[in-house]
A = this chain, B = another copy of it.
Amino acid sequence: MSDLRERLVAAVGAAHVLDGADCLDLAHDEALGVGHGTPAYVVRPSSTAEVVAVVTAARETHTPLVARGAGTGLSGGANPPDGAVVVAFDRMTVIRAIDTTDHVAVVEPGVSVTQLDAAAREHGLTYPIRPGEQTASLGGTVATNAGGMHAVRYGVTRAHVVGLEAVLADGTVVRDGGRLAKVSSGYDLTQLLVGSEGTLALVTEVTVRLQPYLPVRRTVLAPFADLTTTTAAVARVVGSGLGPSLCEYLDDPTMDAICAAADLSLGIPDEVRAGADAYLVVELVGRRADRVEGDLVELAELLADAGAPDVYVLPEGSARRLVEAREQAFWTVKARGADEVVDVVVPRSAMAEFIGRARAIAERHGTRVLGCGHAGDGNVHFAVFGPGGDAHAAALDTTVHEVLAAGVGLGGAVSGEHGVGRAKAGAFAELTDPGALAAMRRVRAALDPEGLLNPGAGPV
């Protein structure tokens, strides 16, 4: 091990090689219900060359490497096994370019989503990816293919990443894509690496598309009596051509919880709330207030026609606070004792069926699943609460597993945006199409034959 330490010190300097046991805070993300080991070291490279040196040191000593961005992930993708080296990217935080002709940004992986968006906004542009936790790093969002509330309009991280520099397990530096709107020249390694959760390469530079910033936004809230009606309304909203920038559903207990946590009153009469099983929050954006107002009328009519007993146009302050509270939903349910979170994605048309099955599964096992989610994307976020007592762990595990299986059975996948990480690696291996899983394993073995990159996470 001292040999490893010497090599790492040679790679990044003694000040940036931390003993793993001294910084266990850097040895996990925010996932609930998944453990982590004690890393041998946490290293903090400041350049691609230093990352190459770290990778080389690890390879020569057969030491596993786990990349770490801001640690805001929810699947344990940054949780190292015992003895691994955690590669923290918190010193690589330079925005190398905001390019207003090609409409791209070039950033180091430690730059946060907030930091990038703020820099883009100075030029009338925006980076529209909005994961639940905006302190997320670009490298981390690339690793997990992060989504968030704006994905219904703008797509997930994958849709925005046009180029990467990354270091493979053998130290090879790969440069792929660039400041390009499109490309059809060989395999799209950029797309292969997005969502690969640090199992194929360590990303050292990210080039992303920027979008014109749209200054006008208006938000409506619509209660619905049941989930089937709610999700049927979602298909109409998405198919309308109105281009919503947010289309979220919240079940009634989750709405209660986040309003309480944010001390937020939405001004909805008690009798309407009493009859509501779920809510849709839909946001429209645009360049011009008159048009957004016109679209808002159309949207309200559409929602009423789809079965909402009433539609509330939220004042700007309330809208912002509701959206922020929704973003903080994970922290709210965590504070209320949630034992697990899952973010199954299913076809939009199957959302109501999926949620119904999940509730039945929970009831069978004495657990609870409460949820909200990116309804426009079919991405259902459940907080899972175990029953406590002796049966707690088993009931929880069974519930989570059956809920994931129910989603996959409806044509979905175990995660829409959190990733597989360590938390869902077992279920993923069990539930994924065997042909696809075999192909993934072959790709992984081809790029990392010794299995040094994030072992135990992803398609293991």
Q: Which residues of A contact B (CB under 8 A)?
A: 99-103, 124-125, 144-147, 151-152, 155-156, 158-159, 168, 172-176, 178-189, 191-192, 194-196, 200, 212-214, 232, 235, 238-241, 287, 291, 345-349, 376-379, 411-420, 424, 428, 432-433, 435-440, 442-447, 458-459
Contacts and interface: CB of A to CB of B under 8 A. Distances in A.
Contacts of A192: 187-188, 191-192, 443
A181 B436 contact: no
Contacts of A183: 145, 345, 413, 415-416
Nearest to A243: B212
Contacts of A417: 182, 184
Contacts of A416: 180, 182-184
B159 A159 contact: yes
A415 B186 CA distance: 9
Contact of A238 (B103, B213, B376): B103
B185 A100 contact: no
Contacts of A412: 178, 180
Given A174-B439, A212-B239, A238-B103, A182 B155 contact: yes
Contacts of A378: 102, 180-181
Copies held by the complex: 2
Contacts of A179: 347-349, 411
Which residue of A124, A439, A444 has the most chain B CB atoms within 10 A of its CB atom? Answer: A439
A417 B144 CA distance: 27
Contacts of A124: 239
Contact of A435 (B146, B173, B428, B458): B173
B180 A345 contact: yes
Contacts of A146: 184
A433 B176 contact: yes
Nearest to A152: B181
B436 A447 contact: no
A145 B183 CA distance: 8
A241 B287 CA distance: 7
Contacts of A195: 184, 186-188
A185 B168 CA distance: 21
B102 A348 contact: yes
* Top 10 A-B pairs, shortest CB-CB distance: A446-B446, A212-B241, A191-B191, A101-B349, A179-B347, A181-B377, A185-B413, A174-B435, A145-B184, A175-B433
Given A185-B420, A438-B172, A348 B101 contact: yes
Contacts of A446: 442-443, 445-446
B188 A191 contact: yes
Contacts of A200: 187
A194 B185 contact: no
A413 B187 contact: no
B186 A432 contact: yes
Nearest to A238: B103
Contact of A433 (B99, B174, B194, B447): B174
Contacts of A174: 433, 435-436, 438-439
Given A174-B439, A179-B347, A412-B180, A186 B420 contact: yes
B184 A151 contact: no
Contacts of A415: 183-185
Given A100-B239, A188-B192, A443-B187, A181 B419 contact: no
